[in-house]
Structures are given as C-alpha cells and as structure tokens.
Structure 1
Amino acid sequence: MQTPISVNEKKDFVRWFLNHYQLKKRESVWILNYLMNHETLLSSVHFVQEVKFCPRGMEISAQGVSDPPFRFYKGQVMTNDAEKSFHDLRMNQDEPVYIQMNFDNAQQCSKYALVLEENPYLPKDYYLNERDKNEADRLLSVSLLKHRQRQIEYKIDEALIHGKREEFKDLCEALNKLKHELKAYV
C-alpha cells in the first residue's frame, strides 16, 4: 500500500508544473489553478498513469508532447470540453478525480514521481505483451515439471531402498518421459 500524498505535496507539484510548462489548452491552466486554491478538492485528486481506465479523470498535456491537449473521462464518456470538466469538478467535489499529466520527460521527472500514485483501475496485465505471457507460461510449466521430476527421483530412491523392482522400472520409464517433455521447454 502506498503512503498517501499530502495536499501540500500536490500543491507544490502543480505550482512547479505551471511554472515550468506551457499547456496546450489554456483552460487546463484554469483547472490546475482552481485545484491549487481548493484544498478539499485537491485532497480528492490522484495523479496516475493511463487515466482512461478511471471512472472520473482528466488528461492534461503540455506543449512538446504528441498527446491530445485535454481529455475528460466520466464513466464511459470522454470529452475534450474543459469547461464541462471544470463544471463537474465544482459540482462533485467529494468524488475522487484522477489526473494524468503529459509532458516532456514525465517518466524521468522526480517531482512528478513524488505525487504519482498507482492507478487502482489499471488492468493487472495491462503492461504485459503476448511474449511476456508466453514466457510466464513456459517458466511455470518448467517449474512444475522439475518439481514432478524431483518427486519421481525421490520415489525411485525409495523403490531402490525397499527392493521394489517393478515400481523402480515404472518410475524410471515415467522419469524418462518427463525428461523428454522437459527438453521441449529448455
């Protein structure tokens, strides 16, 4: 669980951001200033990545990035109208609002990292591609086969100790099949 970010930390970030970046849409400046001046509302603000998955969120972009200037998400609806989002902010001050800031080198910005929170609405496998999923499946299969191999080897030792010849032959055959199956993964 992440430590909550204080209103002062959020306010400091927004102030720093407004002083260092030119926004693509002037209404975004109004919204950020409004947030800075209303601490109760700012306490409901969460800075996240991939805001499009959130029930109520804004995407605000600075000059110099290819992202759209402004987007507001509410439920299944997305709009570019900053005034509608501003109205929604004022009318629903107790609801959490998630904000994604798009600006040059955002991933390397320590000031942004201080206020950035994990997006609770982001699908768990969002950043996994097909290759990653296949590799995870392969590793799991290898792990299970190696565990099964250790079990069979233990049973072989037991069969040898107790002189159980037929069981020993069957287990050796099973071990050879398993080793052949394991070669397919390695």
Structure 2
Amino acid sequence: MSSVPKENKKRFIQWLFARYNIQSQEASWVLNRLLRHEDMLERVRFVNDIRETPFGISITIDPGTNSDSILFVKRNMICPTDQGMETIRSSMNLIIYMHVNVNSLLRHSIFLSVIEDNPHFPKKTSYNSLKYEKEVDEFLEKVLAQRKINTIRQRIDASLDKGDKEAFFKLTKELKSLSPNQITQERNPL
C-alpha cells in the first residue's frame, strides 16, 4: 500500500494539467485514467527513478518546446507505447511506478508531497551502476532529442500544408538551432 494519500496524488496530477500544456496524447490518457480510477491511483507510486521496477512510466514535459514524451518500461526494457497502455488497461493489481520529469519540479511542495522511494532500486551504487546510469541517461537523451526533431518536422509539414509562412520560418529556425549531431542521429536511428 502506498504511503501517500490518493488525494495528494490526485491534486498533483490536477496541478500538472493546470500548470503545463501536456501535448502527448498518451501522457494525457495515462494521467486522466489515474484521475478517473481510484483503484489505479492507489496503485501508482511517484518515484525519482523507475529503474529496476516491474513496470514504470516516465513522462517528460518540456514547457519550452511544447514537446512531451512518455516511455513505458517493463523490467528495465523500453516497451512500445501500445503495449504499455495495454498493460495499464489489463493489469488490475499491478503497481505502477511513475517518474515525472519537468525542470525544477523538485522545488514544488506539491511534488514533494507525492514522491516515494523506489523499493526496487538499490540504495548502494557502485562504479558499474553509475556507468550504467550514464549510458541510460545518454540513450534517453537521444530518444527524446529524436522525438523533438520528429515533432518539429511534423509541425513544419503542417505549416507548409496550411501555407503559414510565419510558423514555417519559426519552426525551421528552431530545427536549425538543434545541434547537428542530434539531427544526424535522427536520420540514422539507433
């Protein structure tokens, strides 16, 4: 059983929706589902790290670019979004470990009121686990950069379809501002 009251979790999710314009349909679906289903809200644990958990969700919200992302992780393996969403729908007793990544989130007391320890993540860290952590962080950065580039390109295409020159120039400038390595990595997927 979670040590955090459901009311605190509910207030935190409502606060996220009120404060941030969450663009990802999948992230919105998951958070709305938690608000609608009290039993699921009871089973969610907000943690700083989802590694080593049987099932984890990482939601990254980037208010500066309006590009959000969601990753579903089963036993340390990233799983496809549709599989992660099906797991949520079909697993009635599964504890869901959720990491919400937003800049400066740790400064907000509402977040601190819901954060719990991840019981699956070892307290002691060795050199190997720190190396692993760095590799995972680098991989996740690449995935998020890839998603950001894809989102910008889709928005560029939409602005061309609409004939919106202003949006087109703004978005191409934003795409050009990304490092060339990020754009090259996107063209040569992992």
Moved more, 109-118 or 70-79: 70-79
Equivalent pairs, count: 127
Residue 129 of structure 1 and its aligned partner are, at CA, apart by 6.8
Distance 1:125 1:45, change over 3 A: same
Determine whether 1:75 maps to 2:97. no
Alignment check: 8 A CA contact 1:53 1:122 kept: yes
Residue 84 of structure 1 and its aligned partner are, at CA, apart by 2.4
Deviations 1:84-114 (A, max 9, x none): 2221111002110000000120121111000
| Corresponding letter in the other structure for 1:72 | F
Say what the alpha-carbon RMSD is for the aligned residues: 2.6
Percent identity at matched positions? 25
Distance 1:14 1:74, change over 3 A: same
Distance 1:65 1:91, change over 3 A: farther
Alignment check: 8 A CA contact 2:50 2:99 kept: yes
Equivalent residue number for residue 108 of structure 2 = 109
Any unmatched runs of 5+ in structure 2?
A: 129-190
Residue 50 of structure 1 and its aligned partner are, at CA, apart by 1.1
**What TM-score do you get using the length of structure 2 for normalisation?**
0.60
Equivalent residue number for residue 9 of structure 1 = 8
Equivalent residue number for residue 34 of structure 1 = 33
| Corresponding letter in the other structure for 1:124 | K
Q: Note the 1:158-173 alignment, pairs <5 A.
A: none
d(CA) in 1 for partners of 2:90, 2:54: 16
Distance 1:120 1:27, change over 3 A: same
| Corresponding letter in the other structure for 1:21 | Y
Alignment check: 8 A CA contact 1:7 1:39 kept: yes
Residue 74 of structure 1 and its aligned partner are, at CA, apart by 1.1
Once superposed, which parts of structure 1, at least 4 consecutive aligned residues long, lie more than 3 Å away?
Answer: 64-68
| Corresponding letter in the other structure for 2:58 | E
Say which SS state the counterpart of residue 53 (structure 1) adopts: coil
d(CA) in 2 for partners of 1:107, 1:42: 21
Deviations 1:101-143 (A, max 9, x none): 00120121111000000111122123x779xxxxxxxxxxxxx
Residue 76 of structure 1 and its aligned partner are, at CA, apart by 3.9
**What TM-score do you get using the length of structure 1 for normalisation?**
0.61
Which entry has the higher C-alpha Rg, 1 or 2? 1
Distance 1:129 1:64, change over 3 A: farther
Deviations 1:41-93 (A, max 9, x none): 11000000111221111000112489971111112421251x32221111002
Any unmatched runs of 5+ in structure 1?
A: 131-186
| Corresponding letter in the other structure for 2:79 | T
